[in-house]
Amino acid sequence: MVEVPVKMYMQNLAKKAREMVKPMALLATSIKDKALRAMADRLVEGEDAILAANKQDSEAVGKSLMETRTTRDLIREAVERLRLTPDSIKEMADGLRRVADLPDPVGEVTRMWQRPNGMEVSRVRVPLGVIGIVSELGPKVMTDSMALCLKSGNVCLFRGAPEWIRTHTTIVTMLREAAEGAGVPAGATVFVERPEKEGALELMRLHTQLDAFIPCGGPGLRKTALDQVRVPVLCHDGGIGSVYVDQAADLPLAQNIVINAKVQQAFESNSVDTLLVQQAIARPLLPALIRRLIEEFKVEVLGCPKTLALIGSQAMTGHKTVEPAAAADWSRQFLSKILAVKMVVDMDEALAHIASYGPAHTSTIVTRDYANAMRFAREVDAAAVLINASTRLHDGEEFGLGAQIGIATGRVHARGPVGLEELTCQKYVVFGTGQLRHPHPVPVTYEDAIMLKKGMG
């Protein structure tokens, strides 16, 4: 059998996705919620099949890496990253149920007002349409994406990482069956089953068939998306996470916030990349903090010359210490256990640094000075600014907004957590009683029109 070229394959999928836009936009909330709960139950019931497929994926990746003579530690790390557990599946199912419990944004009237002529104007939320998603991450991204697209009335066109292909295929088959059994039209989620890398590129190039695009992965994927995609890119998670410790900070609080922001989930986009410390409190804060980061949490710390001078004299023989930070490190989103530390003279220098090495993803200030906190909140241009709280809290669930696909750092359409509301746009619905735009080009009354006709005769 001749295999269809990737470009044609993707265009066929996109055509099917577009055909589902209207049925999905009109889907009742009760059906969506019933489907999401059925999907959650099906995941739990299908645990054994999911774990078996995942084992095949893990073994295939391990075998592939062994053939390239990759070190055993790296092979073990790669396999562990792919491996699912019963807890992983439960977490995915719980995520589906949480989305079912959220309010349906579709049809929500966000504003209504009456004009002097009696016309009633309202603004109503509607789905975006077809959302293309390319993910380099695990199955939870897929289940969250499917759930959020379904609840917001959108069609999900999803392409996952090839190393997860068996796991993804098994899960999406289960979720489709459960959703369709609950009344969701077949084709609400379109899954790219072919593993070729060209598939991701062709999905990005579906300029006329997509309404929005979401890249879920590292800087390389985001850069490719920005180069290739011609529709709005919603979740550009790129940007620097920073913590500024002010002179008026509570030091134990500052230490806890920095450790949490870096270590709790170092590979997440809202983990801290740059620590800025006002030099007046550097000596009582940094030595103990950096020692804990390096020795207790195995963080690689990069420092400015002032930081090196302060910490270098206290380094103990045989212990890893701070490495010099290169100029490029201040603009790096590390997504790993690496932290760049800089001592600054005052808040002016901290603000200038954050502005120079943007875009800012999440910025935190640690201070007991209210005026300093408010100035920081006003002047820092970030998707979220936090005061005396970890950058890791920049998240839809933590903000009380519900599940999210990612975090947007751009300015157009969405900024911050991208959840249900951000997967909709708004249209105007206007109620009138015959209002016209004046001056009207024809006579006001029927009688006037008749008289005009007679006069012209």
pLDDT at residue number 192: 95
- Please enumerate in sequence order all residues whose Cβ is within 8 A of that of 329, keeping only pairs 6 or more positions apart, or say none: 302, 340
- Mean pLDDT, 10 residues at a time, over the chain (457 residues)? 84 96 98 98 97 93 73 73 92 95 97 97 98 93 96 97 94 97 95 92 94 90 91 84 98 98 93 98 96 95 95 59 94 94 98 93 98 98 97 93 88 88 96 90 63 57
Answer for the pair 421, 120: CB distance below 8 angstroms, yes or no.
Answer: no
- How far is the C-alpha of 429 from the C-alpha of 25, rounded, in Å? 16
Residue-by-residue DSSP string for 28-63: -HHHHHHHHHHHHHHHHHTHHHHHHHHHHHHHHHHH
Residue 21: per-residue pLDDT: 98
Q: Which residues of 377-412 are buried (b: 16+ CB within 10 A; e: fewer)?
A: eeebebbbbbebbbbbbbbbeeeebbbbbbbbbbee
pTM, entire model = 0.87
DSSP structure string for 381-411: -EEEEEESS-GGG-STTTTTS---SEEE-SS
pLDDT at 364: 98
Domains in the chain (CATH in brackets) are: 6-228 (3.40.605.10), 240-401 (3.40.309.10)
Which pair of tokens denotes residue 87?
A: 């807890």
